[in-house]
Amino acid sequence: MNTLSRSCWIASALYLTIGMGLGIYMGIAQDHTLAPAHAHLNLVGGVLLALFGSYYALAGSGVRRLGVIQVVCANLGVVTLAPGIALAVQGQGEGLAIVGSLLALASMLLFLTVVATQPRPVSA
Ligand code: HEM
Ligand code: HEM
């Protein structure tokens, strides 16, 4: 495991912990208004960061610089998209959700670039 993959997995577990907490809160409160924020925190945050962490664990240090930029961008996307969706579904503006969407999209394009330009085959 390298530092980049470890940071992805820590972030993933953190997002899933908060996302599950929100899910439990919604269940107890019987108010599912924030379900889209919960869904995207768990999926764009928890699931995608785990995916990135797995890739970087396999890829090793060959993708370091672009990989760090990609992971920073992905985390900025999560911390703006999930609260942005929460604000949007409560009618408090869509600006943050739009910023988060663009950051999430940018991080995925960067990931595509990282994977497609990987200089050598990924080895376990
Ligand atoms: C402690 C764990 C969790 C609890 C208590 C929980 C609870 C909930 C609740 C109450 C809803 C709203 C359901 C509705 O309005 O129909 C919901 C929706 C959702 N949850 Fe969770 N959840 C948990 C974990 C997760 C995880 C780990 C993921 C994904 C990795 C996830 C993905 C989703 C998705 C995608 C929806 C939206 C479903 C839809 O709109 O049809 N949840 N969850
Ligand atoms: C740029 C990133 C993304 C944006 C802007 C976005 C936006 C949206 C929107 C507007 C909805 C409809 C919500 C509603 O009807 O209340 C939705 C639903 C959903 N999205 Fe995303 N999405 C993004 C990324 C993703 C990703 C990467 C995943 C999975 C890994 C995902 C999984 C889902 C699921 C499961 C639903 C249905 C659950 C729900 O209604 O809350 N989304 N998304």
Convert the pLDDT of each residue in 56-100 to its tens digit: 999 876 777 899 999 999 999 999 999 999 999 999 999 999 999
Residue 70 lies in a domain: yes
Instruction: Count up the domains in the chain and report the number.
Output: 1
- CA of 33, nearest ligand number: 1
24-55 residue pLDDT tens:
999 999 999 999 999 999 999 999 999 999 99
**Does residue 123 fall inside a structural domain?**
no
Tokens of 90: 């409560």
Residue 124 lies in a domain: no
Is 121 part of any domain?
Answer: no
The answer to whether 86 and 39 have CB atoms below 8 angstroms apart is no
Candidates 59, 46, 53, 86; CA nearest to 71 is 53
Helix axes 64-89, 95-116, angle to 10 degrees: 150
For the whole model, what pTM was predicted?
Answer: 0.94
Task: Say if 81 falls within a structural domain.
Answer: yes
Structural domain span for residue 69: 3-116
40 CB less than 6 Å from ligand 1?
no
Is the confidence at residue 103, as pLDDT, over 90? yes
CA distance 12 to 18: 10
Of 89, 90, 85, the closest CA to residue 101 belongs to: 85
